[in-house]
Structure 1
Amino acid sequence: MSKEPAQQSAGKKPTIKLADMPEDMQQDAQSITLSAIEKYTNERDIAYQIKREFERKYLGNWHCVVGKQFSSYVTHEEGYFVQLSKGPLQILLFRC
């Protein structure tokens, strides 16, 4: 019997779609995002957790958008932007 799609992707790191940040920071974005998605089901809570963790670790004012369907056009500090996806969720994380 095959696993449900959600179970198949459980524990798998989010995919980086676009990044302007150092590799180690990208890896943190993946692990922090995965942790938030595994802990919360509400997109607002997921976004808050990611933002809070990045502000704790990397300081400054971070912004996080999480959703299944949205468009964006943002200005960010050079070296502080990543777009990830995990299943149907898209995640934007940036500092400006």
Structure 2
Amino acid sequence: MMWGAKVKTPVDMPDDMLKDCIQNVTSALEGVDNFEQDGQDVVGNIKKYMDKTWSPNWHVIIGKNFGSFVTHETRCFLYFYYNDKACMMYKAG
């Protein structure tokens, strides 16, 4: 557990970026009552924040059941669980 999230290892991200990502996602998800309805807006806002704060071309996926195989920039990948949501964030481009 890190900052209220169950982070899957290995983590490929610096600690300051890791903390910022988790805190941003958890605060965004705490205010959502109906994720099915408002999820796209939440994910879009998180992506805009990441692009602005940590430079562009971030991808943000939040859901319950999904698989992935992605190519990402070095030290720019994170996968964690917050409550019942899986969150994957990575920078590519």
Judge same fold: TM > 0.5, yes or no. Answer: yes
In the alignment, structure 1 residue 47 sits paired with structure 2 residue 43: yes
In the alignment, structure 1 residue 38 sits paired with structure 2 residue 34: no
In the alignment, structure 1 residue 16 sits paired with structure 2 residue 7: yes
The amino acid that maps onto 2:63 is G
Following superposition, the deviation at residue 71 of structure 1 comes to 0.5
Counterpart-to-counterpart distance in 1, 2:49 and 2:14: 17
Of 76-85 and 35-44, the range deviating more from structure 2: 35-44
Shift in alpha-carbon separation, 1:58–1:77, aligned structure 2, 3 A: same
Report if the CA contact (8 A) 1:85-1:91 is conserved.
yes
Counterpart-to-counterpart distance in 2, 1:76 and 1:92: 12
Shift in alpha-carbon separation, 1:51–1:27, aligned structure 2, 3 A: same
Highest Rg: 1 or 2?
1
TM-score, normalisation: structure 1: 0.80
The answer for the alignment partner of 2:71 in structure 1 is 75
Aligned residues: 85
Counterpart-to-counterpart distance in 2, 1:49 and 1:14: 19
Gapped runs of 5+ residues in structure 2? Answer: none
Report if the CA contact (8 A) 1:76-1:94 is conserved.
yes
The answer for the alignment partner of 1:8 in structure 2 is none
TM-score, normalisation: structure 2: 0.82
Gapped runs of 5+ residues in structure 1? Answer: 1-11
Following superposition, the deviation at residue 46 of structure 1 comes to 2.6
Q: Structure 1 vs Structure 2: percent identity of aligned residues?
A: 29
